[in-house]
Amino acid sequence: MLAIVLLLLFIFQGSIMEGSTSSHIRSGKRLPQLASSSNVNHENEINNRHLPNNNIDNAKPAAEHGVPVPHPNGGLTQDPDDKRREQSRAYSKTYRLKIDAHIKNLEEKQKTISHRISEKTPMIKFFKDVGSLLETERNTLRGTKTNVISNVEALKAEMHRIQNELEKMKIDKDAKETHIVGTRNFRGNR
């Protein structure tokens, strides 16, 4: 019923506005007020209770109630404040949807990373264990290397001592051979 009353009001205002333009609406000028009528039926009185003072004389133009107003070019225009509110609502809704999508995306990334961490944790523990074993082996090999180097130094010293002794023995042998040969020659010459 309210729709019928609004439609009638819309048609009635359309006939009043035929000579007017939308510039009246944009400039903030009020459209001509509806004349009061004594033969307003009971149905219109009930449906017009939302109007101030329940008086049709105080009725605002339809655009101020969010109802589109006929435009001279044949289209419908809305009050600029209503347009702004609609645009603001649409932007807010889009923004909320965008934020929700971003939050869902971040939650998915968190789940993926948590899953990867839970998969990699046993491998990390294994590699840490292998690393500690390798560290122990490396330390053992360093100790062995130090022992080998000190043994090599000892062997070199021993070899040097043996070479010196060998040289001494060669000299002594040469000296004895020379002495023996000299003694034979000396004895043989007599």
Q: Say how far apart CA 70 and CA 73 lie, in whole Å.
A: 8
Task: Spell out the alpha helix ranges (H) of the chain.
Answer: 2-17, 23-26, 42-47, 80-188
| Contacts (Cβ under 8 Å, ≥6 apart) of 14 | 70
Share of the chain above pLDDT 70, in %: 55
Q: What is the pTM of this model?
A: 0.32
Q: Specify the pLDDT at position 175.
A: 84
Dump pLDDT digits (tens) for 2-47: 667 666 666 756 544 444 444 445 455 555 554 444 444 444 444 5
How is residue 69 annotated by DSSP?
Answer: E
pLDDT at 72 over 90: no
Q: Specify the pLDDT at position 36.
A: 46
The distance between the two most distant Cα atoms of the chain, rounded to a whole number of Å, is 184
Q: Which has the minimum average pLDDT: 35-44, 61-70, 121-130?
A: 35-44
Q: Given CA atoms 102, 104, 109, 113 in this order, what sign does their dihedral have? A: positive
Q: Where are the domains positioned within the chain?
A: 2-78
Please give the structure tokens belonging to residue 181.
Answer: 């040969």
pLDDT at 1 over 80: no
Mean pLDDT of 135-154: 93
Dump pLDDT digits (tens) for 78-112: 688 888 999 999 999 999 999 999 999 999 999 99
- Adjacent-strand bridge partners of 69: 77
Question: Under DSSP, is residue 53 helix (H, G, I), strand (E, B) or coil?
Answer: helix
